[in-house]
């Protein structure tokens, strides 16, 4: 068998003790990431809803306000996940929400 003897472990060995990968960042870093994801998601949600309402009253096709509203909904979901500590998923949802809003902007 050519498997490494430590292939089943999750952490590194430093100073004779195992360090778990989840403990790489401190509590303060996790709290800052949650607040950042929540605040950014809320801000992008408000911006998407405002853009959707502005485009709804204008002569734009129906796809444009719908794309802004859908992007805002995705960002709202990201804010919710960010507040619950799922910051990595929230980041990807924020990126997806902004990309959906960009499709609406390009359709205008």
State the DSSP string of 29-80.
Answer: HHHHHHHHHHHHHHHHHHHHHHHHHHHHHTT--THHHHHHHHHHHHHHHHHH
φ/ψ of residue 81, rounded to 5? -65, -40
Domain residue spans of the chain: 26-107
pLDDT value of position 23: 60
pLDDT value of position 1: 52
Given a cut of 70, whether residue 19 has pLDDT beyond it is no
Q: Kindly state the percentage of the chain with pLDDT values over 90.
A: 58
CA–CA distance, 45 with 43 (Å, rounded to integer) = 5
Burial of residue 83 (number of CB atoms within 10 Å: 0-12, 13-18, 19+): middle
The model's confidence at residue 37, banded by pLDDT at 50, 70 and 90, is: very high
pLDDT value of position 30: 86
What are the tokens at 39?
A: 């605040």
Given a cut of 60, whether residue 20 has pLDDT beyond it is no
């Amino acid at each position: 068998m050519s498997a490494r003897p430590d292939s089943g472990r999750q952490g590194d060995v430093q100073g004779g003790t195992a360090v778990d990968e989840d403990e790489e960042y401190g509590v303060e870093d996790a709290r800052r990431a949650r607040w950042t994801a929540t605040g950014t998601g809320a801000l992008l949600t408000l911006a998407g809803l405002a853009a959707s309402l502005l485009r709804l009253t204008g002569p734009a096709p129906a796809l444009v306000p719908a794309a802004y509203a859908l992007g805002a909904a995705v960002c709202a979901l990201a804010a919710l996940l960010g507040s619950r500590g799922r910051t990595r998923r929230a980041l990807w949802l924020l990126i997806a929400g902004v990309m959906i809003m960009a499709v609406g902007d390009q359709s205008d």
